Structure 1
Amino acid sequence: MMAAATTASDSLWQDIRDEARRAMAADPVFGKSLADTVLIHGDFAAALADLIGRRLGGSAAERARFTTFSLDAFRSQPGLIETASRDLQGIARRDPAIAELLPPLLHYKGYVALQAWRVSHWLWHRGQIDAALLFQNEASNALQVSIHPAASIGSAVYLDHATGIVIGANVVIGDEVTILQNVSIGRHSELPARSPRIGRGVYIGGGATILGDIGIGDFAKIGAGTLLTSDVPAGCTAVGNPARLTNCPEPASAA
């Protein structure tokens, strides 16, 4: 199984390098930055670790520290790179504005913020709590995305636009979820203070707030600006403040 994951990541890395070479040929000035950020590296793990360091580190020393932490995580747990590959491919599939892998890798801060979170999550579960929280804090400062290291997030997740996203501790997010800007997901102020659980393929519109011990079923949609504090069945759409359900599949509507 590990060999298959490595092969998939290697194939994606080759595609990225091919795109970088074509971009260099089309624009030699832009090509210098591509040489520094992509083509200088031997594999996707090294390039992604360097990218995280560049975006989170304000000084050379900070950049080196974030890069080292990230590369240690990717080398110790290669599955993180496979997941990062699926995240990148998920953006290319779901964003109609692009058709390649290089633009979201280099320019989509939501992608970098998510990969920085994956490193922080790895650190958190290794007991390196201070380092994990440092990643969260710097991603919040530099990228305006704050994801607690104790959250759980699946693969092929797309943080679209990304500014103002807050995801609290113990939130569970499934595969292929899309989250737009200014979304808050976390615990309710009332007890018991438990966090939302979000299923596969869910779409969360900009400015939505999702709070408390609730579940959102697979492929549900949460409209922009929605305040959600109760469950959403699979396939339903929740809109408004307070939220109401619409467009539910027949079994959910009947229930």
Structure 2
Amino acid sequence: MTLPKSSVRSVDFVWEQTRQEAMVAIEEEPLLGGLIHASVLHHDSLVKALAYRFAQKLASTEMSAQLLREVSDAAYEADSSLVQAARADIVAVYERDPACHRFLQPLMFFKGFQAIQAYRIGNWLWRTGRKDLAYFVQMRVSEAFGVDIHPGAKIGRGIMIDHAHSIVIGETAVVGDNVSMLHSVTLGGTGKEDDDRHPKIGEGVLIGAGAKVLGNIQIGHCSRIAAGSVVLSDVPPMKTVAGVPARIVGEAGCAQPSVTMDQLIGIRGSED
């Protein structure tokens, strides 16, 4: 028998799993009990936990955690897509990062995830006309996490930034859903243009460590950018590019490079 919608309890699988993992973590490391209780178990939803972490991580002598909590609460209440994106990001990190074994880890310990969630609040502020406060959030994210994302950039869901050191994403950059990138990636401009000047990254793209993607160029869906590459021109979908400047060196090698995280480039044999 099918139950009426009103009698079906909505279950947030990501949140329920995170709470269970939090209780286990406290048993294993009691010294983290206070932190984990305050960050996870004290809250009755992922939304409230995210808002709390945002406020605690970005608080400073310039703006208190209480004021930042008011900002984050307002953002999550006004735009439900923010928490939907956060869920997708948690799952993305869990599935793609071999160092991640629990949903709890991104929320508590991974600065790439935390920086993206803070960016999302900054982007909401930007979109609602509160640009000075959005710039403040950008500044604090850069200071706290070493990740500099302009609040005007457009970033999709299911994003995984591994290690997340020295990430730079410009104002007019667009990052599609299910993109993975490693540390020291730049999505930047090529000069002093004051218009649409940053890259457009398609869905499912994998960007290797240290890669620089510069200018208003298109990176096709499910492509791979090798570590250390400098990309200055469009990349077709489902291709691998490498080098300085980058050139096409082969196919992407799989349907979803950002999920497999395979960064190896085939080496041509001596017979070639």
| TM-score, normalised by the number of residues in structure 2 | 0.85
Deviation at 1:32, TM superposition (A): 2.4
Partner-residue secondary structure (3-state), 1:185: strand
1:253 corresponds to which residue? none
Report 1:146-185 matches (<5 A): 146-185=148-187
Structure 2 gaps of 5+ residues are 1-5, 254-272
What CA deviation, in whole Å up to 9, does each residue of 1:184-206 have, x standing for no partner?
10222176752211011111111
* Match of residue 228 from structure 2: 225
- Give the letter for the 1:34 counterpart: I
For residue 190 of structure 2, give the secondary structure of its aligned residue in structure 1: coil
Residues 156, 177 of structure 1: 8 Å contact kept: yes
Please tell me whether the aligned partners of residues 156 and 176 of structure 1 are also in contact (alpha carbons under 8 angstroms): yes
Structure 1 ranges of 4+ moved more than 6 A: none
Report if the CA contact (8 A) 2:168-2:186 is conserved.
yes
Q: State how 1:9-28 maps to structure 2 within 5 Å.
A: 10-28=12-30
How many Å separate the matches in 2 of 1:242 and 1:147? 24
Identity, in percent, stands at 37
- Residue number in structure 1 paired with 2:98: 96
**For residue 247 of structure 2, what is the aligned residue in structure 1?**
244
- Give, in angstroms, the shift of residue 7 of structure 1: 4.2
Aligned AA (2:79): Q
Whether the 8 Å CA contact 1:187–1:193 is kept in 2: the answer is no
- Greater CA drift, 18-27 or 219-228: 18-27
More helix per residue: 1
Q: How many angstroms apart in 2 are the aligned matches of 1:69 and 1:35?
A: 22
**Distance (Å, rounded) in 1 between the aligned partners of 2:10 and 2:149:** 29
The alignment of Structure 1 onto Structure 2 pairs a total of residues equal to 245
Q: CA deviation at 1:156?
A: 0.3
Normalising by structure 1, report the TM-score.
Answer: 0.91
Structure with higher Rg: it is 2
SS of equivalent residue, structure 1 residue 237: strand
User: RMSD value over aligned CA atoms?
Assistant: 2.0
d(CA) in 2 for partners of 1:47 and 1:190?
40
Given that 1:136 and 1:148 are in contact with CA atoms closer than 8 Å, whether structure 2 keeps it comes out as yes
Residue 62 of structure 1: CA displacement?
2.1
Change in 2 beyond 3 A, CA 1:226/1:249: closer
Gaps of 5+ in 1: 251-255
Q: How does 1:43-54 map to 2 (within 5 A)?
A: 43-54=45-56
